[in-house]
Amino acid sequence: MSTAPVIDTTEPRAEGVHWDLTPLATTTEDATTRLEAVIKRAKAFEKRYRGAMETIGAGELAGAMAELAEIHNEVGRLASYSGLRESTDVANEENRDLAATVDRQMVELGNALRFFDLEWLELDDAKANELANAPELARDRHHLLSARRFAPYTLEENEERMLAERAPAAVSAWQSLFEQVTSTLETPFDAGDGEEPHTISRLLAHVRDPNRDLRKRALDTLYEALEPHTSVLAHCYDSLVGDRLAMDRLRGHEEPMAPTHLRNELDDEVVQGMMSAVERHYGLAHRWFRAKAGLLSLDKLELHDQYAPIGESRSVDFAEARGLINASFGRFSPEVSAVAEGFFAERRIDAEPRAGKRGGAFCASVAQDASPFMLMNFTDRMDDVMTLAHELGHGMHFTFSAQQQTAHSFHTGIAMAEVPSTFAELLTFDHLMATEDDQQTRRSLLAERVEGSFATVFRQTVLSRYEQRAYAARSEGTTLTDDRLSAIWFEENEKYYGDAVDMTDRYRMGWSYIPHFISTRFYTYAYVFAHLVTLALYAQYRAQGEAFVPKYLEFLSAGGSATPQELLLPLGVDLSSPQVWDPGFEEMDRMIALAEAG
Residues within the interface to Zn ion (CB under 5 A): 421
Helix axes 318-332, 334-345, angle to 10 degrees: 150
Please, what is the Cα angle at 449 between 418 and 442, to 5 degrees?
140
Given the complex with Zn ion, which of 86 and 418 has the nearer CB atom? 418
The dihedral over CA atoms of 195, 199, 200, 205, expressed in degrees to the nearest 10, equals -60
Cβ at position 372, least distance to Zn ion in Å: 12
Cα separation, 209 vs 217, whole angstroms: 11
* Helices first, then strands: H and E counts in the chain: 26, 7
Per-residue three-class SS string for 238-259: HHHHHHHHHHHHHHCCCCCCHH
CA distance 408 to 397: 15
Q: Which is nearer to Zn ion, 78 or 376 (CB)?
A: 376
Q: How far is the CB of 483 from Zn ion (least distance, A)?
A: 35
Residue 155 DSSP one-character state: -
Give the three-class secondary structure for 344: helix
What's the min distance (Å) between Cβ of 275 and Zn ion?
21
CB of 417 to Zn ion, least distance (A): 7
Closer of 32 and 401 to Zn ion (Cβ)? 401
State the nearest-atom distance from the C-beta of 391 to Zn ion, in Å.
7
How many angstroms from the chain centroid is the CA of residue 72?
22
The closest residue (CB) to Zn ion is 421
Contact 58, 131 (CB under 8 A): yes
Question: For the CA atoms of 58, 114, 522, 524, what is the dihedral angle to 10 degrees?
Answer: 80
Q: Which is nearer to Zn ion, 421 or 524 (CB)?
A: 421
Where b means 16+ CB within 10 Å and e means fewer, 267-294 reads eeebbebbbebbeebbebbbebbebbbe
Please, what is the minimum distance in Å from the beta carbon of residue 390 to Zn ion? 6
Residue nearer to Zn ion on the CB measure, 105 or 377: 377
Nearer to Zn ion, 128 or 336 (CB): 336
Identify which of residues 218 and 364 has a Cβ nearer to Zn ion in the complex: 364
In angstroms, what is the minimal distance from the CB of 394 to Zn ion? Answer: 6
Q: How many residues are recorded in the chain?
A: 598
φ/ψ region of 16 (left if φ > 0, alpha if ψ in -120 to 50, else beta) reads left
What DSSP element (H or E) covers 112? helix 93-122
Cα 228 to chain center, whole Å?
31
The residues pairing with 364 across neighbouring beta strands, listed in sequence order, are 373
In whole angstroms, the minimum distance from the beta carbon of 128 to Zn ion comes to: 34
- CA distance linking residue 216 with residue 209, whole number of Å: 10
What is the spatial distance between Cα 359 and Cα 87, in angstroms, rounded to a whole number?
9
* Minimum distance from residue 431 beta carbon to Zn ion (Å): 19
Shortest CB 247 distance to Zn ion, Å: 28
Which residue lies nearer to Zn ion by CB, 105 or 421? 421
Q: Which is nearer to Zn ion, 303 or 530 (CB)?
A: 530
Which is nearer to Zn ion, 313 or 422 (by Cβ)? 422
C-beta of 258 vs 417, nearer to Zn ion: 417
- For 477, which DSSP code? T
Cβ nearer to Zn ion, comparing 377 with 421: 421
What phi-psi label fits residue 367: left (phi over 0), alpha (psi between -120 and 50 degrees) or beta? beta
Q: Shortest distance, CB of residue 585 to Zn ion, whole angstroms?
A: 22
Among 492, 416, 419, 415, smallest CA distance to 458 is for 492
Q: Which is nearer to Zn ion, 198 or 397 (CB)?
A: 397
- Distance CA(396)–CA(379), nearest Å, equals 23
Distances (CA, A) of 553 to 100, 403, 571: 38, 12, 10
CB of residue 421 to Zn ion, shortest distance in Å: 4
Identity of the residue, 73 or 421, whose beta carbon is nearer to Zn ion in the bound complex: 421
Alpha-carbon span 175 to 169, nearest angstrom: 10
Q: Would you call 229 exposed, middle or buried from its count of C-beta atoms within 10 A (0-12, 13-18, 19+)?
A: middle
State the minimum distance, in angstroms, from the CB of residue 468 to Zn ion.
24
Q: How far is the CB of 418 from Zn ion (least distance, A)?
A: 5
CB of 392 to Zn ion, least distance (A): 11
Query: To which H or E segment does residue 338 belong?
Result: helix 334-345
Rounded-to-integer distance, Cα 145 and Cα 142, Å: 5
CB nearer to Zn ion: pick between 239 and 428? 428
C-alpha–C-alpha distance, residues 340 and 253, integer Å: 42
**CB neighbours (10 Å) of residue 166?**
10
